[in-house]
Amino acid sequence: MTRADEGVTDGAWRREVEALLGALPGLLARLDALSRHQRELIESDDAEALSALVEDRARVLGALTSCLEGLERRRAEWSRAGQDHQRVQAAIDGMAAVANEVAARDRIDSARMRDLRDDMARRLVGLGAARQAAGAYAAAVPGGPRFQDREG
């Protein structure tokens, strides 16, 4: 490879890394916003809106995964370039803090959803028991006459 070819390749990986780094903050901000809204939906017990939010999160996570995979593919190039390596690593480290906050909220939200699910299961069991008790004490509807005239 000639020096000119290296310059083109060098420019290509730099442009790709810059584009990926440029996309990450917006994706992380979107994920952070969805994470915060998720908590509100869990507390309000809005299953339909929560389901739509989970779909949005899946799309954002897919885009984040794609960005991170792209950065990983280019890791060797930026690792060889000292100044670029420091700048890229600093950007990634800064974004990791947001990702860690989202992960912490997700752990709390997951525990809350398990608690809500368990509470719902207990209520359903209680409802079933109440129905059984009501059925056991329900008066039978008479099908015929109650009194007979035997002297008659």
Encode pLDDT of 1-41 as tens digits: 444 444 446 678 788 888 988 999 999 999 999 999 998 99
**How far apart (Å, rounded) are the C-alpha atoms in residues 18 and 8?**
15
Please give the average per-residue pLDDT across 105-115, as a whole number.
88
Task: Answer yes or no: are the C-beta atoms of 27 and 67 closer than 8 Å.
Answer: yes
Unique residue bearing structure tokens 């939010």: 53
Q: How far apart are CA 23 and CA 66, in angstroms?
A: 11
Q: What is the pLDDT of residue 91?
A: 79
Say what the pLDDT of residue 3 is: 40
What per-residue confidence (pLDDT) applies to 131?
76
| E-assigned strand segments in 32-126 | none
Helix axes 47-73, 3-44, angle to 10 degrees: 160
Q: Are 88 and 21 in contact (CB under 8 A)?
A: yes
Q: Is the pTM above the cut of 0.85? A: no
